Structure formats: structure tokens, C-alpha cells
Amino acid sequence: LSDSHKHKDKYKEKEHKHKDHRKDKEREKSKHGSRYGSSSEKKHRDKEKERMKHKDGSTDKHKEKKKEKMRSLDGKVKKEKENGFASPQHVKSEPEDNFYYSPKYEKSLKRQRDDDDETQFLFPFQDIKSKKTKNKKGEVLDGKKKAKKEPEEKWKWWEEERYTDGVKWKFLEHKGPVFAPPYEPLPSHVKFYYDGKPMKLSLEAEEVATFFAKMLDHEYTTKDIFRKNFFKDWRKEMTAEEKSKITDLTKCDFTEMSEYFKAQSEARKAMTKEDKQKIKEENERTLQQYGFCIMDNHRERIANFRIEPPGLFRGRGDHPKMGMLKRRIRPEDIIVNCSKDSKHPEPPPGTRWKEVRHDNKVTWLVSWTENIQGSIKYIMLNPSSRIKGEKDWQKYETARRLKKCVDHIRNQYREDWKSKEMRIRQRAVALYFIDKLALRAGNEKEEGETADTVGCCSLRVEHISLYPEKDGQEYVVEFDFLGKDSIRYYNKVPVEKRVFKNLQLFMENKELDDDLFDRLNTSILNKHLQELMDGLTAKVFRTYNASITLQQQLKELTNVEENIPAKILSYNRANRAVAILCNHQRAPPKTFEKSMQNLQSKIDAKRDQLADAKRELKSAKADAKVRKDEKSKKAVETKKKAVQRVEEQLMKLEVQATDREENKQIALGTSKLNYLDPRISVAWCKKWGIPVEKIYNKTQREKFAWAIDMADQDFEF
């Protein structure tokens, strides 16, 4: 842990040196700008290693079958009828009654499911043992009976059949996105100054100026790239006149605007209860209206139904595009996706959509192209939705299948370390890292378009150091690189001799900024993995290792004797082990030191209190010994209880303190939400009688409803 502290700033400097060097080189290389720079170039270097290489013909062509086919082999639910929706595809009721649920349709679904007794909970793709399915059914049916009017009745999508043919839905209706509110011009007394003189800006230029003004307090408005990008884009919004006048950003004075916005946000905070309530209600109305869609007879929550407002782009880390103007999205930019036979969303009066399409092979409702990277953004459903939940469940099932063959795969890559083909050795070493260290795959990235970050396959020579011996350990590899979101990965790991020797070989005659694995990329790696197991990709290892670590840590750490808070601490520790494995970091909270001190003084106070209580107990005992009457005996009992109570409180505080200290820069949320099979946690809760609310908050319980309903205490990942 102590090694993996964030030293972002310190590190950046170091990175910088290499990077500039690298940039120059790359610029030279890829004049004809391809997406990833030129990857063929890197191949020429290892002529010496040509002796290692041999023929290239080992790609198993016969394995090229479509996944669907493979799946239907072991999947048992292949005889299914679509999704089981024999009924009309959409709910006819009008949206304003908020009643999209139709018990009638449910019944027919249930029936169908019941026919398919043995397999109802199986993924068609894989062979899960479904032992715990039976007992559930009774409850389910009971629930339905009394459901009648209740549209809020929880729909257990996980008890239904799934689409298998790439179809994501049969019916989809929604109201379209909510656009960002239009720009509100500044009141005339709020002025912008250029070169000390007030200057009235055009609406367009003013809006962009306010974006900058709002960020004035941020450190990055002082950064060169940020300022440069901003100024360039700002000038594009200016009138010819403004453009000729405003030529130097340092002469721009936004402070009045900035003050104005600060005052505004103060005013917002100081609003009366009633006004706040009004706003809340208004929000709730928009949520009800735009925050849901109907997908296949069910009303489902949309994740991000608001279009991203315009502003200045701030990427993470050292992003070359920071400060650029993220433009306002208009209806004309929007592609709407919905059923042909649904009530199509209306564009705002006087506008039109870019396109309305009916593609049920995708899950998104709305999309648009963003102007910074030119990538597509989507509006999709909430994690609690069927469409996300199924996928999530499936993800964990894939990881569980990996569990069954991981030994074989490990043996295989260990063998491959000895291969006479360089590309195979590289593949094997990379896979070893991905498996052992839970590294990300590491796709190629567009040079100069994004921050310089890497994953396993894109590691460069500069990112590792080899130590034949270090701190009493042999063959130590030191990793030091920026990963996703420019989070630093720093780790020293002893590796097996063969791995070490291979790394030395891979690094021979290379520059610092050359790829470590020059004969490997994610697509090669994944193709290989696909051959080892259906559905296997690099990221499955992260899921697998995270989940198996949680399960194993929980086993190890949970102490039968301990009370609930202590058990929860154990859970958090297990969770933390995973977060450390996956390198899920966070910036230490700004108030961390202070709040830690506060907690410590509370603990001290509690200690004093405990001492007092003990003293009182002692004297009460003495008293009782002398007097021997009922009253004094009772007093002893009360004192005893008091001591116990205070002891418990102290314990709780201490637990809290350790927990917090250990969590200083570790973020538990990401692994909990994305990597840990929720059934492990649910099973653990059930086993130890811990309310699941202690582990998952409301949102999380909604997302993991399937697991909470499905897993019993014997669940094994």
C-alpha cells in the first residue's frame, strides 16, 4: 500500500520528459496520421530476435465460428420463443397515467417460464448450476396476485427468458432527451474588461467567456494548453470586431463575471425552503416525464436523459484538448432510436431531429456526436434496468466460467514463456501481468488526441524497471505508469525467472519510448483468449480476480465471534484488498487530516469515559460487598452495563478510525459496482445475518436486485 501512494504531480514531471521526447519521434513517424500512429514501424527493430521467430501459421482458422453458434452448444434455452412476448409489443396506456405495467402480459410470461422449469434461470450461453431456483417461484406468484394495481411491483426480469439473437428489445418508447437550458445573458451591470476597459460582448462570445469565468478558481485555467485551446475556440465564437480587438487572453478580466456566479450560487444555497421544494418538485416532474422509457412492456429508468450542456472540456490528466469548447447540442444533432410503432418523441417546436431510427440491435435511446473527440455519446438505461442487469449478470457468469479453466490457461501461458516465437512469448508475459496484476488490456490510443496513458499491451519500455535483486527479493519488476484516467500505477513485484528473462529480451535494443510488447496488441491477445474460452477477453481476468479475491478474503477475514460492525470492517477490508488489486484510487478527501483528528479526540474522550465508568463500577462493587443489600447489587449491574456500553462505543469508534485511515486514498465504490459479483456479498450477508443494507445502499440494491433475490448463503463464485 505504502508504495502505491499517489504522487501525481511529482510523477508528471518525470513523465513529461519522456513524453516530449516521444512526441517528436511519433510526429515524425506518422505524418500520414492514422488512428494509432504507425504500428508497423515498431516491428522492424527486432531483426536480431528473428531467430526466435518462426512461421506464423498457427492461427486456428477453424475456431472462427460465430459466438452464437458456440453458445447454442452448451446453452440449454435455445428452443425459446423470442423473449416470450406473445402479446402486443407495446403498452397502449397513455404516459400520463404512469402505468406501463400490465399484469396480463406478465401472466403469459410466467406461464411460459414455468413450462421451461429446469432452465428458467440459466443463461443460454453457459452452464450454471441452478439449484436455488425452485423455492423462489412460490413467492413470486404470490407477489403477483396481490400486485394488481401496483405498477411499482418489482419486475423480476431475471426469472425470464432472454433474447439470444442480438435483439435487445421488441418495443421501445420514450420522450427523447432533455436539452440544456438556453444561455441566459448576463445582467448589464456585470461587465467584462479587456485591457482594463469594459467591453460588451456578443451573446455567443459572452457565453463562452462565462464558461471560463466559472472556472477561474480552478488551477487548470492557469495551464498553458488549457488557455491556448480555450482562447482559440473562444475566438471562433467572436464577431469580427471582437476578434480584432481581443487578441491576448492575459488582458481579459473575467473577475466580475466570476463574482457574479459565485453570488448566484450563494443565493441558490440561501433560497427559502419553499423555493427549494418547488425546484425539487419541478425536477421530479421532469424525471417522471423524461427519466423513464417503456421497453418491452416495462417502464424503466433512463440513466442520463439530460443532454450534456456546453462548456469547456476538461479531460483527465495531461490532456492535449483541455480548454476546448464543448459545443451546445441541438435537436438537429440528435439521433433518436425507438420502435417504429411507438409514439415517437417530439423535437422542440420549430426544430427537427437529425434522424429517427428503429434499431433494436442496440440499447441506446438517443445519440449524438461530440465535438472534442468526435465520439458518439448515448443515452441509455439505468443499471437497474433489465437490459443492463442481464449484461452484468452475464459478465459474472463469464468470469465464473473462467474460474473453471483458469488453471489450464495459467499452465498454458507458462509454457508459452518458452515458445520459440517472440509474439507468443510476449502474449504469454502480457497475459501473466493481466492475470497476476489485474492490469487493463491496453488498447492503442490516438497519439496527441488524448492523455498519454497505457494499459498492459501498450506498456512502453520506460514504464518498467528490472531488478535482478531488490529488497531481498529476486527478479523484481517495478511498474510505474499512468493508467486509465491518468491514475498512476506503481508496483514492485517479484516475478518468475522466465518472465524476467523474457522482459530483458523484449527490452533489448529498444528506446525508452518503444513498446514493450511490440508484437502484441489487444486484438491479438483477445483473439487468443477467445480460443481458450468462449467469451474470454482480457477484461474478464479483472472481473474474475476481483471477485475471487473478495470471496477468499471474506472467508479469511470474517470472524464468527465478532459483532456486526466488526464484521463489516472485515467486509470493507476484503473490498479494499480488491480495490488495491485493481488500483482504484481516489484523491485523499480535502478534510481528511482534520476529520481524522476529530475522530481521534473523540476516541480519547471515549477512553476517559470508559475509565470513569470502570472506576464507578469498582466502587459500586466495593460498596455492594460491604452493604450486601439489593439496592447496591442493582447499582453494580447498572454500572456493569454502562461499562459494556461505553466499551462497545469505543470499539465502534476505533473500528471507524482504522477503516477510514486504511481508506484514505482507496476508492471502494468502483470495485463494488463493477467488479465484485454481488452474489458473493449477498451470500456473505445472509450467512452472517448482516442486513444487506449495511453493504449496499438503495441505488446499489436496485442495481443488484437480481443478486439479492437470487443468491442464498451457500452461493459460491
Partner DNA sequence: AATTGTACTTAGGACATAATTG
Partner DNA sequence: CAATTATGTCCTAAGTACAATT
| 58 or 644: CB nearest DNA | 58
Tell me the three cell numbers of residue 78: 435455445
CA distance 675 to 686: 20
The nearer residue to DNA, 30 or 133, going by C-beta atoms, is 30
Q: Which position has the grid cell 511519433?
A: 26
Indicate which single residue of 227, 343, 445, 607 sits in contact with DNA (rule: CB under 7 A).
Answer: 445
d(CA 205, CA 243): 10
- d(Cα 679, Cα 690) in Å, to the nearest integer? 14
Total number of residues that touch DNA (CB under 7 A): 91
* Residue 258 vs 670, nearer CB to DNA: 670
Torsions phi, psi of 253, nearest 5? -120, 110
Least distance to DNA, CB of residue 529, Å: 8
d(CA 46, CA 56): 16
> Binders of DNA among 355-374, rule CB under 7 A?
359, 361-364, 367, 370, 372-373
Q: Is 672 in the site for DNA (CB under 7 A)?
A: no
| Shortest CB 326 distance to DNA, Å | 6
Say whether residue 165 binds DNA (CB under 7 A). no
Asked if 167 interacts with DNA (CB under 7 A), we say: no
Q: Among 32-40, 199-207, 256-264, 684-692, which window interacts with DNA (CB under 7 A)? A: 32-40
Which residues in 482-541 contact DNA (CB under 7 A)?
Answer: 483-487, 522-523, 526, 530, 535, 537-540
Q: Whole-angstrom Cα distance, residue 296 to residue 277?
A: 34
Residue 277 engages DNA in binding (rule: CB under 7 A):
no
Restricting to residues 236-265, which ones interact with DNA according to CB under 7 A?
Answer: 265
What is the spatial distance between Cα 302 and Cα 299, in angstroms, rounded to a whole number?
10
Q: Return the residues of window 98-137 that contact DNA according to CB under 7 A.
A: none
Distances (CA, A) of 376 to 188, 357, 364, 368, 612: 38, 16, 11, 6, 65
CA 201 from centre of chain: 41
CA 480 to each of CA 168, 295, 461, 464, 519: distance values in angstroms, whole numbers, following the listed order: 41, 46, 11, 6, 21
Under the criterion CB under 7 A, does residue 386 sit at the interface with DNA? no
When binding is defined by CB under 7 A, the residue of 414, 586, 633, 640 that contacts DNA is 586
Nearer residue to DNA within complex by CB, 396 or 475: 396
Question: Is residue 391 a contact residue for DNA (CB under 7 A)?
Answer: yes
**Can you tell me which of 675, 688, 704, 717 binds DNA, judged by CB under 7 A?**
675
Q: Does 419 bind DNA (CB under 7 A)?
A: no
Of 469-488, binders to DNA (CB under 7 A) are 483-487
Nearer to DNA, 438 or 624 (CB): 438
How far is Cα 676 from Cα 554, in angstroms, rounded to an integer? 12
CA distance 148 to 383: 26
Q: Are strands 335-337 and 355-357 parallel, antiparallel or unpaired?
A: parallel
Output the smallest distance, CB 452 to DNA, in A: 9
Task: By CB under 7 A, tell whether 311 contacts DNA.
Answer: yes
Is the CB of 122 or the CB of 441 nearer to DNA? 441
Min CB(67)–DNA separation in Å:
7
- Of residues 329 through 348, those in contact with DNA by CB under 7 A are none
Site track for DNA across 543-582, x = CB under 7 A: x--------------------------------------x
- Per DSSP, the residues of 324-360 read -EEPPP-GGGPEEE--TTS-PPPPPTT---SEEE--T
Residue 61: CA atoms inside 13 Å, Cβ hemisphere, count?
A: 2
Q: Which residues pair with 336 in a beta bridge?
A: 356, 366
**Is residue 286 at the binding interface for DNA, with CB under 7 A as the rule?**
no
Contact 529, 537 (CB under 8 A): yes
Min. distance of Cβ 409 from DNA in angstroms?
14
Cβ(624)–Cβ(636) below 8 Å: yes
Q: Does 280 bind DNA (CB under 7 A)?
A: yes
Catalytic residue among 290, 489, 544, 675: 675
Write out the DSSP string of 102-139.
-HHHHHHHHHHHHHTGGGTT--TTS-----TTTTHHHH
Question: Residues 395, 410, 633, 687: which binds DNA (CB under 7 A)?
Answer: 395
Instruction: Give the nearer residue to DNA in terms of CB position, either 96 or 219.
Output: 219
Q: Is 544 considered catalytic here?
A: no
Smaller CB separation from DNA, 268 or 618 = 268
* 179 makes contact with DNA (CB under 7 A): no
Nearer to DNA, 199 or 532 (CB): 532
Q: Which of 309, 415, 611, 622 binds DNA (CB under 7 A)?
A: 309
Q: Does 316 bind DNA (CB under 7 A)?
A: yes
Distance CA(551)–CA(558), nearest Å, equals 11
Minimum Å distance from CB 226 to DNA?
Answer: 13
**Shortest CB 429 distance to DNA, Å:** 16
Among 455, 493, 301, smallest CA distance to 383 is for 301
Interface region with DNA, contact rule CB under 7 A, candidates 348-356, 561-569, 606-614, 664-672: 664-672
Q: Is 585 in the site for DNA (CB under 7 A)?
A: yes
**Cα 20 vs. chain centroid, distance in angstroms?**
31
Distance of alpha carbon 396 from alpha carbon 577, whole angstroms: 19
Q: Catalogue the active-site residues.
A: 675
